[in-house]
């Protein structure tokens, strides 16, 4: 029996007001009278139905497992329970690490707003952007699902109505080739529609955080008090929850410090449910997930061995999936068209010489037997981006040394793109990680600063020489446009390096004063601002605290690497 759709009064009122506004702008929208409110509401409400790594066989309503998220605003923690906590015309980036629940939060906010908000939420998955389907096309398609058939050229009527909120999910998953155009499109919407509310989620370090229209708020990590209420939503019995909590407490703070995201707590629950043990390192949360999900229906069937449509055994299927993830990573894809998925599969098959019955049979096994890959229409996407990232890293860790060296060399100049993979490789491919990636990039920093065996103080003028703040004229005001740091490696190599972000945060505070006092300038040297404001000591402290921490990390890693190399050299066979 189908569940009856109950349209809320607030949705009725806002939707009718939106339709009236759009119709007033053009005679071509006369057919909007024919929209059924129940259909529009039901399609919009579908945003709350998701597949998760805990419940992979069918979609569930996120309210069954959602745990409240908090953001930090200045020094205050605020529970994100509705869009009402943000300004009605706010341009907001909610920033969080892998698995921190950004997408679920945005879907939750869409659902809440649908029931009792002041606007109609338009939820867009930015991973669906392609060279053929841009942001405007996705927004127009979302409007069409509500029954509002509108061309891209007429989207200004939507933005200017004040009746819609744009919720743009996962900016970091936009394909690199489409990034520049998408960013420009978002900036144009902001520039032309002051009252349009836009909420975007992203991992740290994306270009959207640099856009001056947006305020950036950090999602707060999970804390131990969050564990029990979340676990109670996974398990029906209190006994299991109690056992997990007891195991966590017995591990003191080691494991609890690792569990900072809802995804990691979910993976812990999956691991415990299957193996009755608690992971102790980051990679352990992921390493058995393929086996667990591939065999989730067979645990109660002694002696049963599942046959896969591809004709592969489980080991071959997992190895091929790892290679599939690796080639997806190379092509910067977390969402693939059918043709792209086939192409990536062929490359993986060719590299490993593992031959399934067909490419489609392999994809079918990944979708139906593991559910780590989901099929949606004519495209495929990972159930979570970190699944691709872990299995890519695993593939690299067991690959020939030539492939490893090539990857690490490329990663030294593009470590933001491979940041999560590198975090896994730091543990599962430790020796090669330090030899080919970590030690070379840190050595470059300290060679440039003239620091060898002993640390020396670095002066802010020495480091920030020629670094400047660039402003752009908007009307009668000069607004922040960009930071142009000098080419010093310490400022540009930001892997495990807090210096860049700490300097940016401190400089941002100075920019406000600069805008007031120096409106006639288009750029100013950062060293000049620091000197004029009498902040030389403060910046010297920030710089040296960060660089000295990096130097200690480098020295410890170098000592460990040399010791292992010496042991290898002294081995006799």
pLDDT score at 32: 67
Question: Going from the N-terminus, what domains does the chain have, and what CATH number goes with each?
Answer: 9-219 (3.40.50.300), 224-280 (no CATH), 314-428 (1.10.10), 432-573 (no CATH)
Can you tell me the distance from the alpha carbon of 302 to that of 300, in angstroms, rounded to the nearest whole number?
Answer: 6
**By the 8 A CB rule, do 279 and 285 touch?**
yes
pLDDT band at 14 (very low <50, low <70, confident <90, very high): very high
For the chain, the 3-state helix, strand and coil shares in percent, each to the nearest 5, are 55, 10, 30
Can you tell me the distance from the alpha carbon of 511 to that of 471, in angstroms, rounded to the nearest whole number?
Answer: 10
pLDDT band at 351 (very low <50, low <70, confident <90, very high): very high
DSSP H or E stretch at residue 361: helix 359-365
> Phi and psi at residue 519, in whole multiples of 5°?
-60, -25
**By the 8 A CB rule, do 94 and 201 touch?**
yes
CA neighbor of 67 nearest in space, from 241, 231, 224, 244: 231
> Phi and psi at residue 485, in whole multiples of 5°?
-75, 155
**By the 8 A CB rule, do 155 and 136 touch?**
yes
pLDDT digits (tens, 9 = 90+) for 552-564: 999 999 999 999 9
Share of the chain above pLDDT 70, in %: 91
pLDDT score at 361: 95
Mean of per-residue pLDDT scores for the chain: 88
pLDDT digits (tens, 9 = 90+) for 304-332: 456 789 999 999 999 999 999 999 999 99
Can you tell me the distance from the alpha carbon of 474 to that of 336, in angstroms, rounded to the nearest whole number?
Answer: 40
In this predicted structure, which of 254-268, 303-317, 385-399, 504-518 has the lowest mean pLDDT?
Answer: 504-518
**By the 8 A CB rule, do 411 and 437 touch?**
yes
CA neighbor of 374 nearest in space, from 59, 133, 45: 59
Q: Does residue 336 carry a pLDDT above 90? A: yes
**By the 8 A CB rule, do 278 and 247 touch?**
yes
Residue-by-residue DSSP string for 120-154: EEEEEEGGG--SSS-HHHHHHHHHHHTT----GGG
CA neighbor of 361 nearest in space, from 315, 320, 304: 320
pLDDT band at 7 (very low <50, low <70, confident <90, very high): confident
CA dist 290 → 34, 317, 320, 369 (Å):
48, 10, 12, 10
DSSP code of residue 59: -
> Phi and psi at residue 202, in whole multiples of 5°?
-165, 155
Residue-by-residue DSSP string for 469-486: EEEEEETTEEEEEEEE--
Per-residue pLDDT, averaged over 133-137, amounts to 95
pLDDT band at 300 (very low <50, low <70, confident <90, very high): very low
> Residue 413, class by beta-carbon neighbours within 10 Å (0-12 exposed, 13-18 middle, 19+ buried)?
exposed
pLDDT band at 529 (very low <50, low <70, confident <90, very high): confident
Per-residue pLDDT, averaged over 536-565, amounts to 92
**Residue 139, both tokens:** 């927004």
Strand partners for 92:
199, 215
pLDDT band at 479 (very low <50, low <70, confident <90, very high): low
**By the 8 A CB rule, do 533 and 510 touch?**
yes
| Residue 342 CB contacts under 8 Å (≥ 6 apart), including other chains | 359, 360, 363
pLDDT digits (tens, 9 = 90+) for 147-172: 888 888 889 999 999 999 999 999 99
Q: Does residue 515 carry a pLDDT above 60? A: no
Per-residue pLDDT, averaged over 69-85, amounts to 90
Q: Does residue 477 carry a pLDDT above 50? A: yes
DSSP code of residue 320: H
Q: Does residue 298 carry a pLDDT above 60? A: no
**DSSP alpha helices (H): ranges in 437-569?**
439-449, 460-464, 489-492, 499-517, 526-532, 536-569
pLDDT score at 199: 97
**By the 8 A CB rule, do 514 and 501 touch?**
no
Torsion from C-alpha of 428, 431, 435, 438, nearest 10 degrees: 40
CB atoms within 10 A of CB 161: 22
pLDDT score at 253: 57
CA neighbor of 101 nearest in space, from 155, 167, 153, 170: 170
Greatest pairwise CA separation for the chain in angstroms: 87
- When computed from its CA atoms, the radius of gyration of the chain, rounded to whole angstroms, is 26
Per-residue pLDDT, averaged over 49-68, amounts to 88
Per-residue pLDDT, averaged over 46-72, amounts to 89
Can you tell me the distance from the alpha carbon of 8 to that of 565, in angstroms, rounded to the nearest whole number?
Answer: 68
pLDDT digits (tens, 9 = 90+) for 219-274: 999 999 999 999 999 998 899 999 999 888 876 657 788 888 999 899 888 888 88
Q: How far is CA 337 from the centre of its chain?
A: 21
Angle at which helix 385-397 crosses helix 401-412, to 10 degrees, equals: 130
pLDDT score at 51: 87
pLDDT band at 513 (very low <50, low <70, confident <90, very high): low
Can you tell me the distance from the alpha carbon of 374 to that of 383, in angstroms, rounded to the nearest whole number?
Answer: 6
pLDDT score at 525: 86
Q: Does residue 430 carry a pLDDT above 90? A: yes
Can you tell me the distance from the alpha carbon of 418 to that of 372, in angstroms, rounded to the nearest whole number?
Answer: 20
**Residue 155, both tokens:** 């989207």
pLDDT band at 516 (very low <50, low <70, confident <90, very high): very low
Q: Does residue 173 carry a pLDDT above 60? A: yes
Tell me whether strands 60-61 and 197-202 are parallel, antiparallel or unpaired: unpaired
pLDDT band at 278 (very low <50, low <70, confident <90, very high): confident
Torsion from C-alpha of 166, 167, 173, 175, nearest 10 degrees: -10
> Residue 516, class by beta-carbon neighbours within 10 Å (0-12 exposed, 13-18 middle, 19+ buried)?
exposed
């Amino acid at each position: 029996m189908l569940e009856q759709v109950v349209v809320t009064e607030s949705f009725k009122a806002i939707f009718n007001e939106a339709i009236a506004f759009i119709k007033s702008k053009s005679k071509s929208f006369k057919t909007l009278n024919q929209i059924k409110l129940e259909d529009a509401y039901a399609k919009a409400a579908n945003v709350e139905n998701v597949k998760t790594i805990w419940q992979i066989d069918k979609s569930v309503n996120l309210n069954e497992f959602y745990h409240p998220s908090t953001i930090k605003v200045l020094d205050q923690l605020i529970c994100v329970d509705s869009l009402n906590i943000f300004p009605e015309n706010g341009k907001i980036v909610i920033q969080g690490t892998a698995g921190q629940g950004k997408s679920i939060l945005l879907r939750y906010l869409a659902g809440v707003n649908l029931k009792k908000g002041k606007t109609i939420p338009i939820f867009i998955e930015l991973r669906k952007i392609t060279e053929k389907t841009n942001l405007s096309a996705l927004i127009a398609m979302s409007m069409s699902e509500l029954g509002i058939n509108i061309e891209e050229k007429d989207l200004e009527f939507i933005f200017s109505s004040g009746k819609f909120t744009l919720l743009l999910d996962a900016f970091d998953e936009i394909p690199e080739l489409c990034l520049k155009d998408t960013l420009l499109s978002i900036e144009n919407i902001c520039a032309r529609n002051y009252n349009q509310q836009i909420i975007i989620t992203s991992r740290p370090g994306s270009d959207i955080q640099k856009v001056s229209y947006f305020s950036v708020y950090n999602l707060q990590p999970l804390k131990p008090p969050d564990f029990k209420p979340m676990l109670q939503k996974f398990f029906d019995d209190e006994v299991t929850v109690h056992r997990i909590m007891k195991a966590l407490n017995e591990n003191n703070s080691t494991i609890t410090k690792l569990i900072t995201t809802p995804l990691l707590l979910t993976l812990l629950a999956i691991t415990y449910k299957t193996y009755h043990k608690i992971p102790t390192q980051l990679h352990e949360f992921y390493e058995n997930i393929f086996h667990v999900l591939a065999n989730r229906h067979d645990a109660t069937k002694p002696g049963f061995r599942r046959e896969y449509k591809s004709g592969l055994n489980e080991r071959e299927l997992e190895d091929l999936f790892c290679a599939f993830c690796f080639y997806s990573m190379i092509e910067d894809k977390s969402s693939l068209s059918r043709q792209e998925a086939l192409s990536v599969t062929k490359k993986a098959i060719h590299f490993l010489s593992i031959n399934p019955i067909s490419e489609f049979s392999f994809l079918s096994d990944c979708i139906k037997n593991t559910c780590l890959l989901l099929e949606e229409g004519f495209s495929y996407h990972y159930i979570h981006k970190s699944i691709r990232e872990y299995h890519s890293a695993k593939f690299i860790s067991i690959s020939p040394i030539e492939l490893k060296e090539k990857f690490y060399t490329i990663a030294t100049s593009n470590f933001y793109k491979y940041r999560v993979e590198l975090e896994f490789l730091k543990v599962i491919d430790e020796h090669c990680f330090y030899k080919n990636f970590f030690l070379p990039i840190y050595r470059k920093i300290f060679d440039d600063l003239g620091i060898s065996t002993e640390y020396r103080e670095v002066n802010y003028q020495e480091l920030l020489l020629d670094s400047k703040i660039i402003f752009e004229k908007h009307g009668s005001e000069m607004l922040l446009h960009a930071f142009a740091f000098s080419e010093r490696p310490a400022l540009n190599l930001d892997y495990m390096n807090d210096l860049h972000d700490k300097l940016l945060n401190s400089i941002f505070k100075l920019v406000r004063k600069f805008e007031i006092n120096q409106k006639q300038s288009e750029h100013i040297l950062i060293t000049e601002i620091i000197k004029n404001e009498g902040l030389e000591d403060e910046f010297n402290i920030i710089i040296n605290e960060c660089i000295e921490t990096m130097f200690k990390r480098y020295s410890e890693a170098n000592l460990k690497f040399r010791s292992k190399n010496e042991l290898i050299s002294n081995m006799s066979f």
